[in-house]
């Protein structure tokens, strides 16, 4: 079975290395600034994929967009509108996690009630 999607760890590492060089840092400093162990950074350099928390940390530190390193043999579909709404609500710094969940549940229930049935 063909892979439907994968993370291009090598391309991510090369971009991360460019950020490191632009900031005039060595990998030890990157490890210190991110809290990612030097051994984890070495594994990424060897083509291993970072764990999701490590990836999130490196993306936040570098300003890179992790989605830019997701590859697929097929065209990737647009995210569903409800998924986008959920993401935006949970990233809103004006909402507590509980408030975001409450609004999300309301939107989903209303959407389901009002959407066109095909």
Together in a domain, 56 and 28: yes
In a domain, 1, yes or no: no
Domain encompassing residue 24: 6-71
Residue 117 banded pLDDT, cuts 50, 70, 90: confident
Task: Tell me what pLDDT residue 85 has.
Answer: 92
Residue 99 banded pLDDT, cuts 50, 70, 90: very high
Query: What is the SS3 string spanning 73-116?
Result: CCCCCCCCHHHHHHHHHHHCCCCCHHHHHHHHHHHHHHHHHHCC
Task: Tell me what pLDDT residue 74 has.
Answer: 82
Together in a domain, 53 and 23: yes
In a domain, 60, yes or no: yes
Instruction: Give the number of other CB atoms < 10 A from CB of residue 8.
Output: 15
Together in a domain, 57 and 34: yes
Whichever domain contains 63, its CATH number is 1.10.260.40
Number of domains, the chain: 2
Query: 3-class DSSP state for residue 39?
Result: helix
Task: Tell me what pLDDT residue 69 has.
Answer: 92
Q: What is the pLDDT of residues 62-92, one digit of tens each?
A: 999 999 999 988 887 888 989 999 999 999 9
> Strand 70-71 vs strand 6-7: parallel, antiparallel, or unpaired?
antiparallel
In a domain, 76, yes or no: no
pTM of the predicted structure, to 2 decimals? 0.71
């Amino acid at each position: 079975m063909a892979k439907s999607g994968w993370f291009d760890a090598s391309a991510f590492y090369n971009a991360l290395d460019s950020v490191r060089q632009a900031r005039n840092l060595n990998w030890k400093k990157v490890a210190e600034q991110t809290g990612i162990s030097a051994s984890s950074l070495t594994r990424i350099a060897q083509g291993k994929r970072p764990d999701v928390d490590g990836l999130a940390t490196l993306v936040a530190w570098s300003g890179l967009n992790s989605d830019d390193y997701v590859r697929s043999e097929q065209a990737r579909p647009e995210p569903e509108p409800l998924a986008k709404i959920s993401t935006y609500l949970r990233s809103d710094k004006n909402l507590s996690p509980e408030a975001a969940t409450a609004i999300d549940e309301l939107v989903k229930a209303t959407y389901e009630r009002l959407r066109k049935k095909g």
